[in-house]
Structure 1
Amino acid sequence: MLTSLRAALPKGRSVPWFAGATFANSLGMGIYYPFSLLFFQSVLGTSLTRIGLALTLAALLALPLLPCVGRLIDRFGPRRVLLVSTAVRAAAFAGYLWVDSFGPFSVLSVLVALSMRAEQSATPVLATLLAGDEPPGRWLALSRALFNAGFGLGALVAGLSASASPEILHRVGLANALCIGLACLLYLRLPRSGVPAAQGRTVLGKARPWRSHPFRLVVVAGAGLWAVAVSVETALPVHLLRDVSAPPWTASVLFTLNTVFLAVLQVPVAHRTERVRPRMLVAVGAVLHTTLLAALAVADQLGSGALTAVLITAMALYSLGELLASQALLTLLTALAPEGQRGAYLAFNQMFIGLANALTPLLVTSVLDRAPGMLWWVLAACALLVAGLMAGTLRAGTRGRSGQGGEEAAPGAVGSDSDAAAA
């Protein structure tokens, strides 16, 4: 088992620094997010509704700036962008401790939203560069596994801090800022990487990800599954407690199971599926998403004895689907983006992820109040639409190759021209 795990991990001197930075960053966020709204309320002394509206507006205001972030990644390299974005975010979270009005709070929230999207754009690019001759999927899987492990551990630490007094809340905010600052220092130990300046000047004007049909399809698929994931995080606890009258601990058990799956199995699963075509993995993963959604749709019709067993089984399948689809989507996004333009392409993807992240909770809560059961069927239809989209591209690619008399590309060759055409 340990030998298999070691074989699945990336190699090289950069691994400890990359892994440490990812873990420190996610640990701080995990400590912080369970208490974030209460923290903001304690420093501003206003309603949660106003705070939620301000955070949503901040997330939306940051989105138009992402194309500039993508160009900066391509010109100066992902390492520099990560250094700046983590430093800005650490300073912004520290700044939250001193705000007492909505103006500074809103400015800091825009900086936080923009820096988070910048990190999400730059990290896969950095992982691809650090991989060198290794399969980049191993670095991407390590990043996702450590993010989930750190976030889960941080959330557990926050949960054990039973008190939500202003003193505890301020300590949580400071701990988050310190963890992000540590991540920034660890990024400094990574080797310098990026597009040479002369090459950067020649490619910056050519990055038009919206014109790439294969890339657009993957972006749409990723945004669809992200909306499903955000919906589950937002609506599952409310639905189980309010509409199903499940035991209060049920949601915690389900989310803990999901976190353990993502943290422990991400690297081994990514290693075992390296030779499977990413589009197939996305399609299978999207179908597995529907197991939990269907279970939640009929949860109110299940007896108390069967309810827990069904939900745990469904969450396990959903988590496996998330493992397969999220890893494959990242692999496709980095493979389909031209070298030297990955920053612009992944920033384009983050615009849609950020939009889904900002709007989905509002849409979900509106539907949840009117037709709880319908919400889960709509989300299941969205997941099946993603599966159909990916399966359709596989069939189109197979017909195209057979018509040309060529052989199908090797499953692992996701970056090849033939695989890009098959998208």
Structure 2
Amino acid sequence: MTAGSGGTKEERARMKKRATVPLLLGGQAVNGFGDGLWFSIWAIYFTRIQHIPAESMGLAIGIGGVAGFLAAIPVGTAADRRGPREVLFLIVLLRGAASAAYIFVDGFWSLLLVSCCYSAVQSSGVGVRVSLVYQLMDKDNSLRVLAQGRVVQHIAYAAGAGAAMLVLADGGRSVFVASILVNAVTFAVAAVLTLALPHVPATPVERRQKGTAVLRDLPYVGLMSTTALLSLCWPLLSSGLPLWIAEGTEAPLWTAGLAVAVSSLAIALFQVRVTRQAVDIPRSVRSNRISALALACCCLVFAAAAWAGSPLLATLVIVLGMGAHVVGELFYVSSRWGLSLGFMVKEAEGQYQGLTASTESGATALGPALVTALVSGAREAGWLVLGALLLLSTVPVGALSRRAERDPRRVTWTDERTTERKAAC
């Protein structure tokens, strides 16, 4: 009977594990659709429907990004102390409520308030989710599931952007409001899927790290801060490239949309494959260097598009630069996962992933202003400066990694999680 009971338990555990990945990917797909819908219409909604000046809108959204930077570490610490599933569930619900509140925004101050709330839960949720995936999956599958989630997210994001085209074509306030409510509903669905995931126990009191422990871990702080500079690849694509196409090249404006489509398709096709290159620390460091080199080449090629004398040639040059950009983004994401997961301290996964999310949030919040200033103010020289900055960011990564590896508290020092936590999951 004992053997039979044990077999039943093992079978239940296997079934539970098989159901975990679809739940994780399903939640990311639902969120991806809502994000694609919202981020494709928000600028038009605030400026043309709610009549908020573009300058005020940009300032409010930018300050809101600072809230995300500040919230990530405390929320990650809460995930260690209360359990990552429960904290992520609450975050998703709060994000849904904040997204619905955009209906009532009618000026700078109300937009600032809602943006701060939204950015705080959005940025902090990224770290908690990575921590949850890491603790639900075994070591070999964590990176694979994270990569699969990014693929699903981008496919759903594209579907949401397609739905946004219908909203923008209609242009009526009621349709925009309905879209905001649809986005809020996606968070409710994602929250239900999150709660259906297996429970991950909180870190026992006697093994908890202090709430500021990660801030005193200078090698980890240095690694996450320097590697976060490569996240400028996103404002480079969303802010710098459209502006450059309009002001500095002969390429048609629709080339910016083509660039986004190429990027999304490539991520869907190759993210899982590229992430396999970051399964350990040495390969994660190498992936970081490949990313920096590819993004620097991308900047060089984009600068060269100014010298193309015809729209067709300029478009071809930009597409060539997008190829380098895609390589840089794919290797950046995989190296970031490999380094942040490999160098966490055991029993403080949420706090460490909170710092990871915080540094990336800070870089992406400041990125649009930096990229725009360089591209618009210095033109070709601005692209070269941006490329040099991306290359320099990778210089200290090797030394910081070697220093971090000496600490026996890192998860890289163990092939498996602690037995009791693994059994509880």
Q: 1:40 aligns with which of 38, 46, 52?
A: 46
Separation (CA, whole Å) in 1 of partners of 2:285 and 2:212:
24
Judge conservation of contact 1:128–1:139 (CA < 8 Å) in 2. no
Q: Does 1:210 align with 2:215?
A: yes
| Matched position secondary structure for 1:135 | helix
Once the two structures are superposed, residues 258-303 of structure 1 have per-residue CA deviations (whole angstroms, 9 ceiling, x without a partner) of: 1111122111222366467211111112111122111111111124
Between stretches 201-210 and 234-243, larger displacement belongs to: 201-210
Correspondence 1:287-298 to 2 at 5 A? 287-298=293-304
Q: Does 1:18 align with 2:27?
A: no
Once the two structures are superposed, residues 361-413 of structure 1 have per-residue CA deviations (whole angstroms, 9 ceiling, x without a partner) of: 1233233332121221121112211333335557x67xx99xxxxxxxxxxxx
| Matched position secondary structure for 1:339 | coil
Structure 2: gaps (5+ residues): 1-16, 416-425
TM-score (norm 2): 0.85
Once the two structures are superposed, residues 29-81 of structure 1 have per-residue CA deviations (whole angstroms, 9 ceiling, x without a partner) of: 11111110222235643212112111111221343333321210111122111
RMSD: 2.5
Correspondence 1:166-177 to 2 at 5 A? 166-177=173-184
| Matched position secondary structure for 2:140 | coil
| Matched position secondary structure for 1:194 | coil
Judge conservation of contact 1:81–1:118 (CA < 8 Å) in 2. no
Structure 2 counterpart of 1:404:
none
| Matched position secondary structure for 1:416 | helix
Correspondence 1:136-151 to 2 at 5 A? 136-151=142-157
Correspondence 1:298-313 to 2 at 5 A? 298-304=304-310, 305-313=312-320
Q: Does 1:96 align with 2:102?
A: yes
Judge conservation of contact 1:73–1:343 (CA < 8 Å) in 2. yes
Structure 2 counterpart of 1:250:
255
Structure 1 counterpart of 2:273:
268
Aligned in 2, Cα 1:220/1:51: closer, same or farther, shift over 3 Å? same
Structure 1 counterpart of 2:230:
225
Q: 1:68 aligns with which of 55, 68, 74?
A: 74
Q: Does 1:153 align with 2:149?
A: no
Judge conservation of contact 1:59–1:354 (CA < 8 Å) in 2. yes
Aligned in 2, Cα 1:99/1:250: closer, same or farther, shift over 3 Å? closer
The 4+ residue runs of structure 1 with deviation greater than 4 A are 391-394
Structure 2 counterpart of 1:410:
none
Separation (CA, whole Å) in 1 of partners of 2:337 and 2:72:
18
Percent of aligned pairs with the same residue? 24
Aligned in 2, Cα 1:122/1:416: closer, same or farther, shift over 3 Å? same
Separation (CA, whole Å) in 1 of partners of 2:323 and 2:240:
18
Structure 1 counterpart of 2:125:
119
Separation (CA, whole Å) in 2 of partners of 1:67 and 1:15:
26
Separation (CA, whole Å) in 2 of partners of 1:273 and 1:62:
27
Separation (CA, whole Å) in 2 of partners of 1:29 and 1:133:
29
Q: How many residues align?
A: 392
Aligned in 2, Cα 1:46/1:285: closer, same or farther, shift over 3 Å? closer
- CA shift, 1:137, in A, is 1.0
Separation (CA, whole Å) in 2 of partners of 1:324 and 1:268:
10
TM-score (norm 1): 0.85
Between stretches 200-209 and 11-20, larger displacement belongs to: 200-209
